[in-house]
Chain A
Amino acid sequence: MLETKTAVEPTTAPTPFNLMQTLSRNRRFLFPVLALILILIGNRLISPTFFTIRVGPDGRLIGSLIDILNRGAPTVLLAIGMTLVIAAKGIDLSVGAVIAICGAVAAVLISTTTLPPLLVIAIAIGAGILCGLWNGILVALFDIQPIVATLILMVIGRGIAQLITEGQITTFSNESLEFVGTGLIGGFPFPIFLSVIVVALVWLLIRSTAIGMLIESVGANDRASFYAGIDATKIKLLVYIISGICAAITGLIITADIKGADANNAGLWKELDAILAVVIGGTALTGGRFYLIMSVVGALIIQSIQTGIYISGLPPTFNLIVQAVVILAILFLQSEDFRRLFTGAWAKLRRQS
């Protein structure tokens, strides 16, 4: 919305620096960004070196901010696919399992065959496309409820991954494939570039074509979209395939990062992080309007909380509680009713004093 709504009047020439204007006009935009900034400041209070970035040996930039971007890349990627799926009134619970499958495919192929790494990567992404296609067919052609349809792959997907790896952590040593997870460009870890590229590509595909609007239309009112001649089947297939591709790339990153495919643990519960990122970003689970960039912000919020917990020195037993409390606070902040309650109470207090 913020993307499509910046130029309201056709006569008004868009000014280059209207960020603050956009911020004040669009509260949906404001609150996730505000939350992210607050969490980063909070992290800085916990750890004085939080904003420090030092240069490691091989020119690698080392610092918590880099960690957030690097470690957040998987969630960012998944959140992009998930945003589109949710916008089309669906949900994709299978992304965690797809991560495991694609990681397993890549690791097994690279360690047992002599296929060139690029081909291996292409095959792994192809596996992701197949997974997305499977979900899409169940949802769009067989009209199975998305939550049930993708639950099927969520459950059997990890089994498939275990079959591929024969229950072991399949390790490999291949510089090209490892580069996907640990490579450096200009000191920045490669996953950061990957997530930026995918965000940009999906953005272009969705917003410079009519696809974004058609997704929103199908998600907001599929009957009306049907009457308007929109091919909802193709739209749904597309969003699940994009989600599958995003999960495949995530699987490659996670697998390349540890130089091994861990069928049991790779991407475990990641689907929930992705859904949460989308919700924090302001896209409703009921479909319709979606906010791609805000989902990215949502993913970075989740990772910032995670990194904050790592450096906080709190015992690990507090992890989940801290995470839950912070996220609850953000969701409250986004709820207009809650804010009104709060501002109302504040106004009352001021009147009384």
Chain B
Amino acid sequence: MRSHKLFLSALLVLVLAFTSILFVAHAQDSSGAGLTIGFAQTGSESGWRTDFTNAMMSEAEAMGINLLFSDGQQKQENQIAALRSFIAQGVDAIILAPIVETGWDDVLQEAADAEIPVLIIDRGVTADPSLYITRVASDFVYEGRLAGAWLATATADRASCNVVELYGTVGSSPAIDRATGFADAIALFPQIQIIASQSGDFTRSGGKTVMESFLSSMDPSTICAVFAHNDDMLIGAIQAMEEAGITPAVDILTVSVDATNDELQMLIDGKANATVLLSPYMGGPAYQAIIDYLGGAELPPLIMVPSAMYFQDTAAAELANRTGG
């Protein structure tokens, strides 16, 4: 039984490592010099979104692509207007990060009529798949699985592990998918149980409030780990633990998703254990897909950007990499 478990853990860690390699391999591919690509971003509603925008820009620069950037300010009409202006300017290709799923058909048709390829990035759209060349996205379910797998390996030698879950915004697809992926993974390990799950709305103060109420209403020593659907909620929860006299990452293990700079710092400071990268580096694969498409290659309908994980010992390097480069 025990060896079976260990085997599974090892397998999951392998999967994890493999994806990291995949990621690295992708990022080094390049050469799109001279292309002009229009990028319609949703806005800058979160730290991750800003990272994503910055990554799109720096990757474009590295590949010699002339990127026209438009901030949609959380409004679909702004994004549609941006798309129309890209079409009017006759760009080589358009990348759309849609704010909502519906209502894109007309403008995508206009792009198709102008023979400008459109690539959907991040969230999906309901439009006919023939109207866009492919979608590049992160896999939320996979992120949840990774988090669950890490927790399973980290607690492999414990008889039981009670997890509290800091749920994202109720009804949002990252929250639903990460919860599903995490639950799928820990279902393989009966000693891991979710004993409480509450929504912290993806915000720091939400995460802090929920964690605080968990710590007030139950004996903190019965909590083995916290799984947060994003880093911001976990950072709030870490504050709540510290205020309640609990040492985060030691008394209660932590795992979350996003790998924001602030969370990497938490890892470096030893206040968190692990974070799954919600890769903001979707630009590379996206640009590559466009180059391939223009070169006549067939594209799969969905290109998943692989995730990676960062731990206390690998966070510093990544942070230095990000802030230095």
Contacts and interface: CB of A to CB of B under 8 A. Distances in A.
B245 interface: yes
A313 B218 CA distance: 11
A307 B203 CA distance: 17
Interface in B199-253: 199, 201-206, 208-210, 212-218, 232, 235-236, 239, 243-245
A318 to B, nearest CB: 9
B197 A171 contact: no
A168 B47 contact: yes
Interface of A: 47, 49-50, 56-58, 60, 62-64, 66-67, 71, 162, 167-169, 171, 182, 254, 257-260, 262, 264-266, 268, 307, 309-311, 313, 315-317, 319-320
A66 B216 contact: yes
12 contacts: A62-B244, A182-B243, A265-B204, A266-B205, A310-B210, A310-B214, A311-B214, A311-B217, A315-B197, A316-B197, A317-B171, A319-B170
B267 to A, nearest CB: 15
Interface residues of B, number: 36
A262 B46 CA distance: 9
Given A64-B216, A310-B214, A254 B205 contact: yes
B221 to A, nearest CB: 12
Contact of A169 (B167, B196, B201, B204): B204
Given A56-B245, A171-B262, A258 B167 contact: no
Contacts of A268: 203
B50 interface: yes
Nearest to A54: B216
Given A169-B262, A171-B262, A64 B245 contact: no
B44 interface: yes
Contacts of B44: 162, 167
Given A58-B245, A66-B216, A316-B198, A262 B45 contact: no
A310 B50 contact: no
Nearest to B71: A167
A260 B204 contact: yes
The 3 closest A-B pairs by CB, nearest first: A57-B245, A316-B199, A167-B44
A320 B170 contact: yes
B295 to A, nearest CB: 36
Contacts of A171: 262
A56 B212 contact: no
Contact of B205 (A57, A63, A168, A257): A257
Nearest to A50: B217
B232 A71 contact: no
Interface string B171-211: 10000000000000000000000001111011111101110
B186 to A, nearest CB: 16
Contacts of A67: 212-213, 216
A168 B44 CA distance: 8
Contact of A64 (B47, B205, B217): B217
A265 B205 contact: yes
Contacts of A169: 47, 204, 232, 262
Contact of A307 (B204, B206, B213): B213
- Output the residue of B50, B214, B216, B262 with the most chain A CB within 10 A: B216
Interface string B139-155: 00000000000000000
A160 to B, nearest CB: 13
A75 to B, nearest CB: 12
A319 B199 contact: yes
Contacts of B210: 310
A172 to B, nearest CB: 12
Contacts of B213: 64, 67, 71, 307, 310-311
Nearest to A254: B205
A310 B217 contact: yes
Contact of B239 (A57, A258, A262): A258
A66 B244 CA distance: 12
A316 B205 CA distance: 16
B11 to A, nearest CB: 30
Contacts of A319: 170, 198-199
Nearest to A162: B44
B201 A265 contact: yes
B199 A60 contact: no
A168 B218 CA distance: 34
B47 A316 contact: no
A264 B212 contact: no
Contacts of B243: 56, 60, 182
A323 to B, nearest CB: 12
Contacts of B206: 265
A54 to B, nearest CB: 9
A32 B209 CA distance: 24
Contacts of B167: 316
A262 B215 contact: no
Given A49-B216, A258-B236, A311-B216, 4 more contacts: A262-B205, A265-B204, A307-B213, A316-B167
A258 B244 contact: no
A309 B198 contact: yes
A50 B213 CA distance: 10
A60 B245 contact: yes
- Output the residue of A66, A169, A268, A307 with the most chain B CB within 10 A: A169
B32 to A, nearest CB: 27
A162 B46 CA distance: 10
A257 B211 CA distance: 13
B235 A258 contact: yes
A259 B209 CA distance: 14
Contacts of A167: 44, 50
Contacts of A315: 197
A77 B320 CA distance: 42
